[in-house]
Structure 1
């Protein structure tokens, strides 16, 4: 994994070629460094650019409300639900702080989107993914009476759910990532997926154990320089806290879903669900 200095040097090198600060997409395509690694060191892409001594490049000084809300809606559509703020920062085009400042707080963004999408059939599928109390209120009577495109239910249909069969195994959502057909459902799935991704992430696994911490690994910090780290596997990052693990005994939490906003600053978090999406995007 590239360190902070390497990322800043790469931003400066790309900026020199462009004659200005690069956008996130330009940096990724020209440097070969995934945005995932940048966000391990910086809160946002703009923060990384500023740390490199540059002014973030924007085509428009002020993004219109429409563009912010459309991007938020498209992110909900792509991920089949509303994302927590820290995950939205990684997957969306705009910084969540921009939306929060514009619409009166991050928790007010869904309501602002509902008002924006009122009566617009192109957003019916997104409204159906929002809590019913939000999705129903802003819609016109005519919009509520029409079924969604490609759906036989109303604007707020219940998700299709079949009765589970007794004695049958259950699986995570389909992912078809390399040799893994389904998303992990537990910590063991996280361990397996990390083993598949260790090389991509710059790690070499030395040992895995049942005690804390779960794993010892070496990772590259510079050309021809490696360092040992202690890793704890969790399905969700906040399980680390719930399990009572000491923060001093772990360098990295590897999880499927990062949902611990108050994670100690001294512990890095690798969210594998974001990693595989980043790798898939890079491949495309």
Structure 2
């Protein structure tokens, strides 16, 4: 009888402990593998991590002029028709990633005046070349037509490696009826290459994080479910990162939060983390979403502050 009573008391204590752990919606766990630590089951430095810089190293700013100026009294630009096309060539043995931005100086009064208007990123294979025309810029930035009869500004290209960039400028006269008459001139200019001064900052990113890294185990009943995720944090910047917090939020209904502290991460290095929830409700409600936010308290100044957050979502089998 005494043994039965002792067994019942122990069972009640265990059940209360499980429910208490689940009731804590937000908990902080130190970065360690100490027994009983539910937040981390494995931390290690990944071998052979390659250091790379997330920002671009080279910039090319080509004057851009495209459209028809019909006003005889305009002192900003002579009356006529103007076309610009940019040619990019990759002289390297490997493909090169580059970005495209249009910086408008005319039309005046536009909110976009003087500000970069991103046209996306592309990759140019080794030895390949391509043209960027006014038509492509219109389709990408002004699908309903240019905001004025002509655009004036700079077309800015940034790349990871050195490129050959040139611009072709064509000018034509127009008639009294504003019709194109005759070609007035053609000019080709090599665009000056500028090395971008790199900021010496860390840049923390999440890698190797997908649904294959998500696991949910429920034991005797739903209140014993434990959700586990594994992900990698890499510092792709040029400076070591000091201590920071990582916030991991789990279903059900994004109610379970685990905060873990990272003592720091050297430039060019990565670290693997496995995070577990305390025993509680089933993550599948009906799907399971887990979100990771690096540097949740914004302690680290980074090269890119917009690549610290990722979520994965898995449907129940």
For this structure pair, what is the TM-score category when the shorter chain's length is used for normalisation? under 0.3
Relative to total residues, which structure has the larger strand share, 1 or 2?
2
Structure number with greater Rg is 2
TM-score scaled by length of structure 2: 0.21
Relative to total residues, which structure has the larger helix share, 1 or 2?
1
Higher relative contact order (CA 8 A, sep 6+): 2
TM-score scaled by length of structure 1: 0.23
